[in-house]
Amino acid sequence: MTARTPLPPPDQKLPELAALLGDEARVVLETALGIQLARVRATHVRYEPGRSVTATFKGTTAEAASPVTLAAHAGKGLPTGTAIVGDGDSRIAVWQFPNDPRLPGLPHAIRPELLGNLLSEVGADHRITRIRTRSYRARRRAVIEVTTERHRLFVKVVRPSKIRKLQAAHTTVADHVRVPRSLGYSEELGVAVLEAIPGITVREAIEAGEESLPSGAELTSLLDRIPPLPERRPSLTERLAVHQRFLSTILPEAAPQLARIVEAVEPTPAEPAVAAHNDFHSAQVMVSGGRVSGLVDIDTIGHGSRVDDYAMWLGHLHTLALGGGVQGYATYGARVLAEFESLIGSRQLRPRIAAAVTAFATAPFRSQQPDWPAATIHRLGAAEEWIDR
């Protein structure tokens, strides 16, 4: 590995964790795929202590210095149809993007000859001018941006078992809120072709220094229009217990901070269940001409809590502000905080913001920041501040 990133404590039930996050990773990847890597680093890790780990890597090959995306999985749910390395007690599945064993539609979304056939089936059979991977979470999902002579589209790739629910959500919500319209989907491949919504995200608008940003009332109006969907999503309080176990495992010295946060958040009274986004933040809302133009990434819509949506919005802005550099995060966050507190009250809202910031404290490890232990402690300290205020 080109940079030494701290390892979490050894996992006795999952010894492959150290192999994938340590110096052995390059050997594992090269052996499995028969390639030689000039550089490689882990860019995303999904780790369930004692159960499984999935890691995504970015690298360059020694021969052509061409960029490659690789992935590996160990533990529960070891996929078939991949290269397997290891001995009888330790086995790791390895593959190269886009050949993800859980996402059979991914090659169809990224390779021009296959993508052309897919777009023809939904009536968008114009010459493709650009294909760009916007996000990839190994074994879970991917979003591919496609530009044609006439359209800007997004091909969303999920496990085939989940595509019907995704399609139903887009169809139902589109009658109430501006969301990406689905042009069609393939149940066999697990892909949906979505139209783009005009504008930029609120996060991009803040970073561009735009002053016309959605007010708390506009964001509330957007949430009010979300229709009820049958699935119940876990609350921030319920998810907090999961984050506590995870963070205490990878960073035992953070246990006292986490215990204090949980103790302060858990007595917060539950809100009545309403239709909610459940992952509401500044990269999910689009704006154009200073006005809200739509809502994206609606996979999480279902029964939830309004205070949780407010808290996620504010917790995300606060976490972004911790990085410094863009003053607009803190300025805009303070403005919206005042508006949301006039509706909810600080005694309910601020502990939930602490829970949201704690959720975002898992990101430094997941993205394998070289300083992830210090960055995690810093975010937990910020969560504690919301309790003290």
Residue 156 · residue 135 · CB < 8 Å: no
Residues 6+ away with beta carbon under 8 Å from 374: none
CATH architecture of 200-388: Alpha-Beta Complex (3.90)
pLDDT digits (tens, 9 = 90+) for 229-272: 888 889 999 999 999 999 999 999 999 999 999 999 987 777 78
Domain residue spans of the chain: 16-96, 106-195, 200-388
pLDDT band at residue 42, thresholds of 50, 70 and 90?
A: very high
pLDDT digits (tens, 9 = 90+) for 233-245: 899 999 999 999 9
pLDDT band at residue 2, thresholds of 50, 70 and 90?
A: very low
- The tokens describing 139, both together, are 């074994």
Say yes or no to pLDDT of 3 above 70.
no
To the nearest 10°, the Cα dihedral for 155, 158, 161, 167? -40
Residue 314 · residue 350 · CB < 8 Å: no
Matching CATH topology for 106-195 and 200-388? no
pLDDT band at residue 4, thresholds of 50, 70 and 90?
A: confident
pLDDT digits (tens, 9 = 90+) for 132-144: 999 999 999 999 9
* 329 alpha carbon, distance to own chain's centre: 20
pLDDT band at residue 103, thresholds of 50, 70 and 90?
A: very high
Q: Which fold has domain 106-195?
A: Phosphorylase Kinase; domain 1 (3.30.200)
C-alpha 128/C-alpha 361 separation (Å) is: 39
* pLDDT score recorded for residue 228: 87
Q: What percent of the chain has pLDDT over 70?
A: 99
C-alpha 340/C-alpha 338 separation (Å) is: 6
C-alpha 209/C-alpha 196 separation (Å) is: 23
